[in-house]
Amino acid sequence: MTQPNTTSTHNETKIIMADPTALGVMGLAIVTWVAASVKLGWTTGTATAIPWSLFLGSVAQIWASTVDFKKNNYFGAIVLGAYGLFWAAVSFHWAIGLGWFGPNNNPDPRHFGFACLGYAIFSLFVMVASFETNKVFAAILVLINILLPSLGLGMLGVQKELCHFLAGWSELAISLLSFYATGALFLNSFFGRVVLPMGNPFGFIRKA
């Protein structure tokens, strides 16, 4: 008996997702803008800074990270995810200090200091990789490597005034560069050409 020749057809659907980096960097720009305003004395308190740190600093960057994982953008996925989680933790740190979850029982701010120093170690590796992305991202990472040690050492009582000064102004510079990066990413992607340059990679380390 002859078996019928059957041919199975498989239809694949490919979902194309837009580059989420502009949204993630926008989140970084806003949260550092707000946080810098507190450090520089332009605003006071952290209670009303929490929504911006939680939604812009955390949710926006983590969401962009998940999209970058799907797009196999290793740098964006790891970096945006790591810093998004950092701002989520900062939000809860501030909320605990304000007693939002009940009596705070004298929380130790040095935990935040050690966390910042830990992130500073991570950021050194990210900075090396950023040199091979573009010059704007590289400059942002250099400034982050000023901000995080300054925050950490200041929290641990080392040269508090100097560290507070460095943290405030480096965070403001991070914000301004991030606003530029957001605009460049958005316009360059929208128009399909370079409208605002980000600068070529330095080429210090050649990829395999």
Q: Measure the CA angle with vertex 24, ends 22 and 28; round to 5°.
A: 110
Q: Across residues 188-201, what is the average pLDDT?
A: 96
- Model confidence over 20-29: pLDDT tens digits? 999 999 999 9
Place of tokens 């332009």: 42
CATH of domain 21-191: 1.25.40
Q: Please, what sign has the CA dihedral across residues 153, 34, 77, 183?
A: negative
- Asked if residues 63 and 77 have their Cβ atoms less than 8 Å apart, the reply is no
Question: Lowest-pLDDT range, 27-31, 146-150, 175-179, 202-206?
Answer: 202-206
DSSP 8-state class, residue 202? -
SS3 73: coil
- Asked if residues 62 and 17 have their Cβ atoms less than 8 Å apart, the reply is no
Quick one: pLDDT band at residue 196, thresholds 50, 70, 90?
very high
Alpha-carbon distance values, 94 to 53, 154, 190 (Å): 10, 16, 37
